[in-house]
């Protein structure tokens, strides 16, 4: 009986030791993962570095047309056609793209930027915060890396950005119109009352 008690106590002590070691390893691993994540985030270079909530207006070119958006309270409005109800999620996605624009590579700005397509830019995107308006000019695509060259009006660097950034700004006004049932019902009821 005495021997069984000693074995039981030994098993409990070993379980406590292994449990503590396991818990300690989990905490250590989590801290290491957090540290690596912070180091990775610190090594990123952001072209814009703004909060999406701080962006109050933006514009971009589509074909020959420039689409201008302004935030009125919490709703995005197309200045070109203020009566159009916009898909707020789609417009919000573009604002997210602007706010979190990361440079995949940063190069010194050359004297002649025309060789990177800036004499005939793919797009010119502007955004406005309480600090002013910033212009992002998208040059040509580097077909080898599938990245685009980009310059910012306030920077002395040439950025290479992911090809998904320019493609996010190829939508027409019609592409951004809210065509959900709620918006069409509102339009129908407004026309019925007239």
Helices (H), 77-156: 88-99
- Cα dihedral across residues 42, 147, 63, 88: positive or negative: negative
How far apart are the C-alpha atoms of 133 and 64, rounded to whole Å?
22
Structure confidence at residue 185 (pLDDT): 47
What would the pLDDT profile of 23-38 be if each residue is shown by its tens digit?
Answer: 777 776 676 666 666 6
Strands (DSSP E) contained in 13-145 are 45-46, 57-62, 65-72, 75-78, 102-108, 123-129, 132-142
Instruction: Return the domain boundaries, the chain.
Output: 2-43, 46-178
User: Which of 65, 48, 13 has the alpha carbon at shortest distance from 134?
Assistant: 48
3-state secondary structure of 188: helix
Residue 144: pLDDT over 90: yes
Structure confidence at residue 42 (pLDDT): 55
Structure confidence at residue 191 (pLDDT): 42
- Return the number of other C-beta atoms located less than 10 Å from residue 47's C-beta: 20
The pTM of the whole model exceeds 0.85: no
CB burial of residue 144 (10 Å; 0-12, 13-18, 19+): exposed
* Token pair 């570095």 in the structure block, residue: 49
Lowest-pLDDT range of 12-26, 49-63, 94-108, 110-124:
12-26
What would the pLDDT profile of 48-75 be if each residue is shown by its tens digit?
Answer: 889 999 999 999 998 778 999 999 988 9
Backbone torsion region of residue 139, taken as left when φ is above 0, otherwise alpha when ψ lies between -120 and 50, otherwise beta: beta
Residue 175: pLDDT over 80: yes
Share of the chain above pLDDT 70, in %: 84
Q: Which residues contact 142 (CB under 8 A, 6 or more apart)?
A: 148, 149, 160
Residue 165: pLDDT over 70: yes
């Amino acid at each position: 009986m005495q021997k069984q008690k000693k074995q039981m106590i030994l098993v409990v002590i070993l379980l406590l030791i292994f449990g503590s070691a396991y818990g300690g390893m989990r905490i250590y691993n989590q801290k290491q993962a957090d540290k690596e994540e912070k180091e990775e985030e610190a090594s990123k270079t952001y072209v814009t570095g703004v909060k999406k909530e701080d962006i109050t207006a933006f514009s971009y070119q589509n074909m020959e047309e420039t689409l201008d958006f302004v935030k009125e309270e919490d709703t995005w409005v197309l200045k070109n056609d203020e009566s159009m109800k916009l898909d707020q999620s789609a417009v919000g996605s573009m604002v997210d793209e602007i706010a979190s624009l990361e440079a995949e590579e940063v190069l010194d700005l050359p004297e002649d930027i025309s060789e990177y397509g800036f004499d005939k830019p793919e797009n010119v995107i502007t955004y406005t915060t309480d600090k002013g308006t910033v212009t992002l000019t998208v040059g040509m695509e580097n077909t080898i890396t599938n990245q685009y060259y980009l310059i910012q009006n306030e920077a002395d660097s040439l950025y290479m950005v992911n090809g998904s950034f320019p493609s996010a700004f190829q939508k027409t006004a019609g592409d951004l119109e809210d065509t959900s049932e709620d918006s069409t019902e509102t339009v129908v009821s407004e026309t019925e009352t007239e």
